[in-house]
Amino acid sequence: MLKVEIVKIDVSAKKAQKMTDYVAEEKPLQIFLNRTHYATIFCSPSNLKELAVGHVLTEGIVKSADEVEQTRLKDDACHIKLKSNVNLEKRLKLFQPFSRVILSACGSGALYQFSGKLSKIKSDLHVEAQIIHNSVGRLNSVAETFRKTGGVHAAAIYRSNGELVAFAEDIGRHNAVDKVIGICALNKTDFSQCFLALSGRLTGDIVFKSARIGIPIVASLAAAIDSGIAIAKDVGLTLIGFVRGKRMNVYSFPERILS
């Protein structure tokens, strides 16, 4: 967060007042795989190592955190060194163009259109509706940057009993999701026994990222759109939107939610 000088105008009282306020920050993060520049992501400058790891996992360029030998953060760059048995050159050929600029306002492009390549979700997870409701509702209470700036998204990963495993904020909803996935991957969390909660829209890229690493339930304060619902139905993921007030909309595989 940054402090800035503003002039606050009260239209009804016809008064103007100079004051300080907080705004969200946006910085570029360079991601290098071994010595190859993979992508530049515009993001909030927090949990950068976790963002980089989560991003390469949800894009599929790295299959699991076990393939990562070392991560090193220096200035505005995260260097991820992969283990010697990973054929990075072969994988990069499948992801052309692999040196990309990813803006905070958009996700990872059209990769989610290839949902047919995703494995079906395999999980016996069941979660009470009240736990989903409470967990999504908790996002606002722990989202300090959002409360001060109103300019970021929040994402969290919970266990089935509502235990918070990871939380992150970012100006990009897809970045926030990558951050919590990175946190959990580095801590060897079993994604099949967790659910993702977030504040942003349930778009194709968000559902694609979740399905890629095997999260069975994704719930949001916001709406789902058709691309997200289509992928969720295709891979067997439970998708829930408009978790607010006393209701929620379940768009796919409602049997995982216990009323």
φ/ψ of residue 75, rounded to 5: 55, -120
Query: Is the Cβ–Cβ distance between 220 and 196 less than 8 Å?
Result: no
Q: Looking at this protein, which amino acid is placed at residue 110?
A: A
Q: Which residue has the tokens 């999980």?
A: 123
State how far the Cα of 143 lies from the Cα of 155, in Å rounded to an integer.
Answer: 9
The single residue of 43, 78, 106, 184 carrying the catalytic annotation is: 106
Q: Could you give the angle at which helices 204-212 and 48-58 cross, rounded to 10 degrees?
A: 90
3-state secondary structure 156-180: EEEECCCCEEEEEEECCHHHHHHHH
Q: Which residues pair with 21 in a beta bridge?
A: 4
Task: Give the chain's end-to-end CA distance (angstroms, integer).
Answer: 39
- Our answer to whether residue 78 is catalytic in this structure is no
Query: Is the Cβ–Cβ distance between 104 and 43 less than 8 Å?
Result: yes
State how far the Cα of 172 lies from the Cα of 199, in Å rounded to an integer.
Answer: 11
Catalytic positions, written as ranges: 106
